[in-house]
Structure 1
Amino acid sequence: MLIIPVKEGENIDRALKRYKRKFVKTTVKNQLNTRKQFNKPSIVRRAQVQKAQYIQGLRDAEEV
């Protein structure tokens, strides 16, 4: 549960903006999306490997 302390005299829009930012950072949205549909472990592993290869390629390109 996210708790956003609202300061006295603070605009509610500003507090909502802080709430939304905090919500995105906690990755709750990602967890909800992954639970919507079952993914086989092999597909999850394949996605992790592809992401690692992509990141490694970016790092190799920076060194050159």
Structure 2
Amino acid sequence: MLIIPIKEGENIDRALKRYKRKFDKTGTKRQLQLRKQFDKPSVLNRASFQKAQYIQGLRDRENV
């Protein structure tokens, strides 16, 4: 659970902004989206392999 201490006389909008920033940094939203639907392990492996190929291609182009 995220706890955001509010200082005396602080604007509620500013506190909400700090809460949202902290929520994004913890990765909670990303985890909830990933758990919303099941992906087969083969699909996850293929995606990671394609990502590795893309990154390697970028590095190869940079070195040439």
Classify the TM-score, shorter chain: 0.7 to 0.9
- The 1-side partners of 2:56 and 2:19 are apart by 34
Determine helix, strand or coil for the equivalent of 1:58: helix
Unaligned runs of 5+ in 1: none
Deviation larger for 18-27 or 50-59: 50-59
Note if 1:48 corresponds to 2:54: no
Larger radius of gyration: 2
Q: 1:7 offset after TM fit, Å?
A: 1.1
TM-score, normalised to structure 1, is 0.80
2:16 aligned residue: 16
1:5-58 residue CA offsets vs partner (Å, 9 max, x unmatched) = 111111110010011011111111111111111100011111122222223333
- Counting matched residue pairs gives 64
Query: Which segments of structure 1 move beyond 4 Å, counting only runs of 4 or more?
Result: none
Unaligned runs of 5+ in 2: none
- Identity percentage of aligned residues: 77
2:33 aligned residue: 33
Let me know the Cα RMSD of the aligned residues.
1.6
